[in-house]
């Protein structure tokens, strides 16, 4: 400290101030040099010049000796007064400002900060005692500025924290001991209450377009007596209008089963908080009809203009219908939210849509010469069977077709072997993802079956190389489906992709004949996805099976090919026996597929068997394979496992779904499933 005191007493000028004091000395030296030079040329003139130089040096010396302390005093007085002005201005600054040490202790506050915190100028407590939202982890590093937001006294603030390196300026200060790394944290608070109020007001006034479609209008109306039909329609209209009228919405009927509603975003927030209770209320309209009607709702907002919002509502409706209906989809800009979708999709008896899609498929194929067919990665028998069905259609229309398949699972291998080395089928019937790009040309079409996500297909690169893309799938559509498809047929009411393709075979061309090998593959796909016709088996399912039976599908032959070996059967039994029941209703287990050809297939079988246990509403089996954690989820009818798997980034059906988790362990995956179940139970979604 003694050294510091000496420094304080010895005031030295630096920089420009030093230059201003000492530059006359340089001028004196120049005068002396000039006098010496002049003395050589003219002694008389040099004498006069010498006298002037001596007088200059004497005057400058006197000024330097006697006036320098006065000059220094004046500079110090000015600096001190200027510093006090700055300090007072900072104290009276119109925004809250404070200095913190590195432990979060408040060292100094201006008047505004004292008003915000309600503390006096001598308060030295930690900042988190006043603002719990601020912790040491929020403190910035050197040269950084961090922002966070908090609310205090019903006011919204943006807080900026900036680290200040104070260096040698901090000597002889009372706070020096607290500054271990010679730095302070400057804290600014900017009041954003009014701005946030205006932002919320603008947001609440945003334009919202809602489309409301009745999913099964014709089917439900057919089951109502003629004299009650008008009353039935009137009750539906009344419920729809009343539900949206509370939000000052304008509701108009576009068609007999379609409505449009226009309202403000403020009411949309209430609908989302209410989770669109109209979806459940409309099912209670009963006047003799034994079939409950269901609605699909598509909401579009955040589009910037009215036309864009309307387009977004149509996109949301397409997504709701593609996911099976009986749900609401909100498309807010790029964000998509789902509500409802808890009930099982009812199968439609009409085959008009199938016939239209089959006709469209034929028209598109007529303009192509080469077709690549692929399903999802680690193909199951439904993916393989539906691909074979498309192959049959393409060959019938005289097109060169190839099926892309990489990992051949144990369930697929017996069926695939029947096509290989068979004189009736070309050698390049099956391609790997490395071989597929070589078959792409300007007239190549790609047909995707049993999946609607590009990154889940066998060869996503082919999708980018071809302009003609078609999708046939029975899973509920995700928020990121394959884009730019010229034909998309997604029917969640179908039991399997094999069922959909079997129906289309009958309408592509009259009198189509398929071979027993092909019929077996399609039949096996339907059988596996319906769990032996125990779930999602409607009239159309059995009609498709009857068609396949007429064309040579053999139940016994298929059953033999689908059997497990002893090692796989034991692994499934162990997974079932080691299952843990969570919350008394959810069975969770781990499938050990080490040494098996198709671990994921075994995990799905274990999940199916767990449903045979009394009291189990849903089952989840976790399988580790190729550095990825696969989750197979199954239920009977009480729990929508598709909603659960969507939270994990997957999807599927109400009763059959799955997900893939990366960069996590099996224990972490199980904990994630439990956390997701807890959250959905708390929110009332399951």
Which of these three, 534, 561, 588, is where a domain ends? Answer: 561
In what helix (H) or strand (E) does residue 357 lie, and over which residues does it extend? helix 352-365
Report the pLDDT value the prediction gives residue 179, as an integer from 0 to 100: 45
With tokens 């399609």, the residue in question is 522
Structure tokens at 544: 């498709």
Report the pLDDT value the prediction gives residue 349, as an integer from 0 to 100: 53
402 with 290, same domain: the answer is no
* Best CA proximity match to 433, nearest among 408, 468, 412: 408
188 with 230, same domain: the answer is no
> Residue 102's domain is classified under what CATH number?
3.30.450
125 with 103, same domain: the answer is yes
Classify residue 627 as left (phi > 0), alpha (psi -120 to 50) or beta. left
Report the pLDDT value the prediction gives residue 539, as an integer from 0 to 100: 85
Structure tokens at 74: 């004046």
Q: How far apart are CA 349 and CA 352, in angstroms?
A: 9
Which of these three, 561, 588, 609, is where a domain ends? Answer: 561
Report the 3 state secondary structure along 259-319: EEEEEEHHHHHHHHHCCCCHHHHHHHCCCCCCCCCCEEEEEEECCCCHHHHHHHHHHHHHH
Report the pLDDT value the prediction gives residue 180, as an integer from 0 to 100: 47
> Residue 539's domain is classified under what CATH number?
3.90.1640.10
617 with 639, same domain: the answer is yes
User: HSE (CB half, 13 Å, CA atoms) of 559?
Assistant: 4
Angle at 663 between CA 657 and CA 665, to 5 degrees: 80
364 with 453, same domain: the answer is yes
Are the C-beta atoms of 42 and 35 separated by less than 8 Å? Answer: no
367, part of any domain: yes
Are the C-beta atoms of 236 and 216 separated by less than 8 Å? Answer: no
DSSP for 186-255 reads EEEEEE-HHHHHHHHHHHHT-EEEEEEEETTHHHHHHTS-HHHHHHHHHHHHHHHHHHHHTTT-EEEEEE
Mean pLDDT, consecutive 10-residue stretches, the chain (686 aa), reads: 41 57 73 76 74 79 67 60 67 82 83 84 82 83 82 86 66 42 81 86 85 86 80 88 87 91 90 88 79 87 86 88 82 85 57 82 88 90 92 90 88 89 87 89 90 87 89 78 82 87 87 86 90 80 91 88 84 91 92 82 89 91 89 86 86 82 90 91 79
209, part of any domain: no
220, part of any domain: yes
572 with 676, same domain: the answer is yes
Are the C-beta atoms of 497 and 449 separated by less than 8 Å? Answer: yes
Total Cβ atoms within 10 A of residue 150 = 14
207, part of any domain: no
265 with 335, same domain: the answer is yes
70, part of any domain: yes
- For 141-183, how does the pLDDT look when each residue is reduced to its tens digit (9 = 90+)? 777 788 888 888 888 888 888 888 765 444 444 444 444 457 7
347, part of any domain: no
> Residue 660's domain is classified under what CATH number?
3.10.310.30
- Residue 60's domain comprises 14-91
421 with 528, same domain: the answer is yes
Q: How far apart are CA 562 and CA 545, in angstroms?
A: 17
Query: Which DSSP state fits 345?
Result: P
Name, in order, each residue with C-beta under 8 angstroms of 661's C-beta and a sequence gap of 6 or more: 628, 629, 631, 648, 649, 669, 672
> Residue 335's domain is classified under what CATH number?
3.30.70
Residue 92: is it exposed, middle or buried by C-beta count within 10 angstroms (0-12/13-18/19+)? Answer: exposed
Structure tokens at 685: 């979604």
333 with 366, same domain: the answer is no
655, part of any domain: yes
In this structure, the strands spanning 656-661 and 628-635 are antiparallel
325 with 356, same domain: the answer is no
**Own/partner long-range contacts of 508-513 (Cβ < 8 Å, ≥24 apart):** 508/358, 508/359, 508/361, 508/362, 508/393, 508/396, 508/397, 509/362, 509/396, 509/397, 512/392, 512/396, 513/551
Q: How far apart are CA 217 and CA 478, in angstroms?
A: 25
Classify residue 179 as left (phi > 0), alpha (psi -120 to 50) or beta. beta
Domain total in the chain: 5
102 with 81, same domain: the answer is no
| DSSP 3-state of 555 | helix
Q: How far apart are CA 493 and CA 481, in angstroms?
A: 18
Which of these three, 561, 582, 617, is where a domain ends? Answer: 561
* Best CA proximity match to 373, nearest among 394, 403, 398: 403
Report the pLDDT value the prediction gives residue 673, as an integer from 0 to 100: 92
Are the C-beta atoms of 389 and 499 separated by less than 8 Å? Answer: no
In this structure, the strands spanning 258-264 and 207-214 are antiparallel
User: What is the pTM (predicted TM-score) of this model?
Assistant: 0.62
Classify residue 650 as left (phi > 0), alpha (psi -120 to 50) or beta. beta
544 with 426, same domain: the answer is yes
206, part of any domain: no
């Amino acid at each position: 400290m003694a050294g510091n005191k000496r420094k304080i007493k010895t005031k030295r000028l630096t920089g420009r101030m030093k230059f201003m004091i000492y530059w006359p000395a340089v001028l004196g030296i120049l005068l002396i040099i000039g006098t010496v030079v002049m003395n050589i040329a003219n002694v008389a003139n040099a004498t006069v010049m010498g006298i002037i130089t001596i007088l200059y040096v004497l005057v400058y010396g006197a000024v330097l000796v006697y006036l320098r302390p006065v000059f220094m005093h004046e500079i110090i007085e000015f600096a001190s007064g200027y510093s006090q002005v700055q300090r007072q201005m900072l104290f009276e600054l119109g925004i809250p400002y404070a200095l913190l040490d590195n432990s979060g202790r408040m060292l100094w506050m201006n008047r505004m900060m004292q008003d915000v915190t309600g503390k006096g100028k001598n308060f030295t407590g930690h900042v988190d005692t006043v603002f719990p939202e601020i912790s040491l982890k929020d403190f910035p590093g050197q040269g950084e500025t961090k922002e966070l937001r908090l609310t205090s006294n019903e006011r919204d603030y943006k807080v900026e924290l900036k680290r200040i390196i104070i260096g040698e300026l901090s000597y002889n200060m009372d706070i020096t001991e607290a500054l271990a790394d010679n730095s302070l944290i400057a804290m600014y608070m900017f009041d954003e209450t009014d701005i946030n109020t205006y932002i919320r007001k603008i947001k609440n006034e945003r334009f919202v377009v809602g489309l409301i479609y009745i999913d099964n209008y014709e089917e439900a109306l057919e089951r109502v007596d003629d004299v009650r039909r008008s009353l039935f329609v009137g009750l539906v209209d009344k419920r729809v209008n009343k539900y949206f009228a509370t939000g000052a919405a304008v509701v108009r009927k576009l068609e007999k089963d379609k409505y449009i509603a226009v309202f403000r975003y403020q009411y949309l927030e209430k609908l989302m908080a209410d989770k669109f209770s109209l979806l459940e209320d409309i099912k209670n309209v009963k006047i003799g009809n034994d079939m409950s009607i269901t609605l699909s709702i598509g909401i579009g907002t955040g589009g910037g203009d009215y036309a864009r919002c309307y387009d977004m509502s149509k996109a949301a409706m397409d997504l709701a219908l593609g996911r099976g209906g009986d749900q609401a989809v909100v498309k807010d800009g790029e964000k998509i939210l789902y509500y409802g979708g808890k009930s099982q999709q009812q199968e439609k008896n009409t085959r008009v849509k199938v016939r239209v899609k089959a006709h469209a498929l034929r028209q598109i194929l007529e303009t192509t010469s080469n077709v690549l067919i692929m399903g999802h990665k680690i193909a199951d028998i439904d993916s393989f069977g539906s691909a074979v069905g498309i192959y049959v259609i393409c060959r019938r229309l005289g097109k060169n077709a190839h099926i892309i398949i990489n990992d051949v699972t144990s369930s697929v291998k017996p069926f695939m072997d029947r096509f290989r080395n068979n004189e009736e089928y070309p050698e390049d019937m099956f391609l790997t993802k490395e071989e597929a790009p070589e078959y792409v040309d300007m007239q190549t079409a790609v047909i995707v079956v049993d999946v609607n996500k590009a990154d889940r297909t066998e060869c996503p690169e082919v999708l980018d190389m071809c302009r003609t893309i078609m999708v046939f799938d029975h899973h509920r559509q995700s928020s990121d489906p394959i884009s730019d498809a010229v034909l998309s047929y997604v029917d969640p009411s179908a039991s399997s992709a094999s069922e959909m393709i079997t129906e289309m075979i009958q309408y592509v061309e009259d009198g189509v004949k398929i071979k027993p090998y092909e019929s077996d593959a399609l039949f096996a796909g339907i059988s596996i996805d319906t769990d032996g016709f125990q779930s999602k088996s409607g009239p159309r399912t059995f009609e498709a099976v009857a068609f396949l039976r007429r064309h040579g599908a053999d139940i016994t032959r298929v059953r033999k090919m689908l059997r497990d070996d002893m090692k796989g059967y034991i692994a499934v039994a162990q997974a079932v026996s080691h299952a843990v029941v969570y919350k008394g209703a959810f069975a969770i287990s781990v499938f050990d597929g080490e040494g098996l050809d198709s671990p994921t297939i075994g995990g799905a079988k274990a999940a199916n068997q767990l449903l045979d246990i009394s009291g189990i509403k849903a089952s989840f089996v976790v399988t580790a394979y190729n550095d990825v954690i696969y989750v197979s989820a199954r239920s009977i009818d009480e729990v929508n496992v598709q909603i659960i798997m969507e939270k994990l980034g997957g999807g599927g059906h109400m009763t059959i779904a799955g997900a893939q988790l990366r960069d996590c362990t099996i224990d972490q995956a199980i904990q994630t499933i439990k956390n997701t179940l807890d959250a959905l139970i708390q929110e009332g979604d399951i």
